[in-house]
């Protein structure tokens, strides 16, 4: 019990409570902003903007070709402030160029696509420009984390959420769907402008460092690509249910039954976002790393037990809050809850530890393997068990990817220590 208490204290000492509260605030304000958009904009018109924005959301993780991911790892490992500044200057300058290339690629490809919905091309082009401010914001956040300033890191989340809410409220009211699209563009832009001075870019001079090479680019690109594939894992379930069952009602049922389980995944993300720099800086200290692993696993095992117990006892009441019709899918709900415990205990930690030792590409391979298995298994289980089949597949894959990440990390970490020692 003491080890869990100490783990929580360390989390709070690193301003983890600010990150936690900012994440909650962000989700609440984002929900309110979405609700406001629904009130001011007709469903069909809003759907076109959301369709275009979802396309861009798959591209945003690889903005700057993932150089912001390289910044957070290699910046944490850099010993001197001069090296840290050089990495930041390089990531800023090269990343902006990479963003412009990415925008050009997105627009060029879009021109050759015959979109089903009118004005989709216009909104894809417009929203593609969110790639640059989104990338800048990620650099700013990474820099705050590297400075162990998690309070300011959390503050960026809060400010962004407030700007989103206000801009959606005003612009959606005045300009309907166009205003909503502009609000989505302005939100990361205004937020990055507010915090940009903290980067002190004008005073940074890039000096060549040995860490900036092909591996530097490879790490960032695969770290970002694994995020894209992970997003696909959640989206593919909805697509397969609609395709295999040809029943939009079942799509809606699964979407809402899975809302709470998938929403809880922010918990390990908050802890990892707070601690990633700390354990990356000490990645070669085996005693520290294994103590951290033990603390994290014990803490989230307790959390998982409590979550599962609560879900089992009150699944009907929880689903009934959404709609009484959803209570018939309580088994699906509980299966998904069992699945997210695999991410709580294993995947969330060991996936990031693999990134910490420079093996981000393995996360991409794991996620891709899971995506292939997901598609194959669902073609068998969905016709047989309906949306429960989808939940079974997802739950098994959550634990499978977590165990695979754990085994790979332990094996590679031992090799890393032997090579270092």
From residue 356, alpha-carbon distances to 29, 76, 78, 85, 416 in Å are 32, 9, 13, 20, 12
How would you class 112 by CB atoms within 10 Å of its CB: exposed for 0-12, middle for 13-18, buried for 19 or more? Answer: exposed
pLDDT band at 234 (very low <50, low <70, confident <90, very high): confident
Calpha distance 93→9 (Å, rounded): 38
DSSP secondary structure string for all residues of 335-351: HHHHHHHHIIIIIHHHH
pLDDT band at 338 (very low <50, low <70, confident <90, very high): very high
Structure tokens at 398: 């959550």
Mean pLDDT of the chain: 91
Radius of gyration of the chain (CA): 22
DSSP secondary structure string for all residues of 178-209: HHHHHHHHHHHHHHHHHHGGGG-GGG------
Task: Choose among 398, 294, 271: nearest CA to 337.
Answer: 398
Q: Which of 30-44, 208-222, 225-239, 305-319 has the highest mean pLDDT?
A: 305-319
Q: Given its phi and psi angles, is residue 95 left (phi above 0), alpha (psi -120 to 50 degrees) or beta? A: alpha
Examine the pLDDT at 58 and tell me if it is beyond 90: no
Task: Choose among 130, 129, 194: nearest CA to 162.
Answer: 194
Which pLDDT value is given to residue 419? 78
pLDDT tens figures, 70-100: 999 999 998 888 888 889 989 999 999 999 9
Structure tokens at 278: 């700390």
pLDDT band at 258 (very low <50, low <70, confident <90, very high): confident
Examine the pLDDT at 51 and tell me if it is beyond 70: yes
Which pLDDT value is given to residue 116? 76
Overall average pLDDT of the 393-418 stretch = 95
Q: Higher model confidence: residue 142 or residue 206?
A: 142
User: What percent of the chain is predicted at pLDDT more than 90?
Assistant: 69
Task: Choose among 131, 153, 130, 151: nearest CA to 141.
Answer: 153
**Helices 67-77 and 348-356: angle between axes, nearest 10 degrees:** 70
Calpha distance 52→91 (Å, rounded): 28
How would you class 35 by CB atoms within 10 Å of its CB: exposed for 0-12, middle for 13-18, buried for 19 or more? Answer: exposed
Calpha distance 263→387 (Å, rounded): 18
pLDDT tens figures, 147-205: 999 999 999 999 999 999 999 999 999 999 999 999 999 999 999 999 988 877 666 66
Examine the pLDDT at 420 and tell me if it is beyond 80: no
For residue 104, how many other CB atoms are within 10 A of its CB? 11
Give the number of C-alpha atoms closer than 13 A to the C-alpha of residue 189, restricted to the C-beta side: 12
Which pLDDT value is given to residue 202? 64
Of 66-70, 249-253, 358-362, give the lowest mean pLDDT range.
249-253
Q: Higher model confidence: residue 406 or residue 85?
A: 406
Calpha distance 232→260 (Å, rounded): 18
């Amino acid at each position: 019990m003491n080890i869990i208490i100490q783990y929580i204290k360390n989390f709070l000492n690193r301003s983890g409570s600010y990150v936690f509260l900012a994440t909650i605030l962000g989700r609440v304000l984002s929900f309110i902003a979405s609700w406001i958009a629904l009130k001011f904009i007709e469903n069909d018109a809003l759907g076109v903007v959301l369709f275009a924005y979802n396309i861009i959301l798959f591209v945003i993780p690889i903005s700057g070709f993932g150089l912001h991911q390289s910044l957070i790892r290699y910046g944490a490992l850099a010993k001197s402030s001069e090296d840290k500044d050089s990495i930041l200057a390089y990531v800023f300058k090269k990343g902006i160029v990479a963003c412009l290339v990415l925008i050009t690629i997105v627009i060029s490809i879009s021109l050759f696509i015959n979109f089903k919905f009118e004005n989709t091309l216009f909104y894809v082009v417009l929203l593609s420009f969110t790639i640059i401010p989104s990338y800048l914001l990620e650099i700013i956040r990474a820099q705050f984390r590297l400075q162990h300033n998690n309070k300011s890191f959390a503050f960026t989340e809060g400010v962004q959420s407030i700007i989103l809410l206000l801009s959606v409220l005003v612009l959606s009211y005045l300009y309907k769907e166009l205003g909503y699209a502009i609000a989505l563009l302005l939100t990361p832009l205004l937020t990055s402008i507010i915090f940009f001075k903290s980067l002190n870019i004008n005073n940074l001079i890039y000096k060549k460092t040995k860490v900036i090479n092909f591996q530097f680019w490879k790490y960032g690109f695969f770290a970002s690509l694994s995020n894209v594939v992970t997003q696909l894992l959640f989206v593919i379930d909805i697509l397969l249910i609609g395709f295999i069952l040809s029943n939009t009602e079942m799509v809606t049922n699964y979407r809402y039954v899975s809302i709470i389980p998938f929403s809880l995944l922010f918990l390990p993300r908050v802890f990892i976002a707070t601690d990633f720099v700390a354990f990356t800086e000490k990645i070669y200290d085996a005693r520290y790393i294994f103590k951290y692993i033990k603390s994290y696993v014990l803490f989230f095992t307790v959390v998982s037990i409590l979550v599962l117990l609560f879900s089992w006892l009150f699944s009907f009441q929880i689903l009934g809050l959404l709609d009484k019709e959803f209570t018939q899918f309580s088994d699906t709900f509980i299966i998904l809850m069992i699945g997210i415990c695999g991410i709580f205990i294993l995947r969330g930690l060991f996936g990031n530890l693999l990134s910490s030792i420079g093996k981000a590409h393995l996360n991409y391979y794991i996620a891709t393997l899971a995506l292939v298995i997901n598609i194959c298994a669902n073609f068998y289980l969905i016709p047989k068990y309906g949306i429960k089949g989808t939940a079974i597949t997802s739950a098994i894959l959550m634990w499978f990817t977590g165990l695979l990440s754990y085994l790979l990390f332990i094996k590679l970490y031992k090799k890393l220590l032997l090579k270092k020692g």
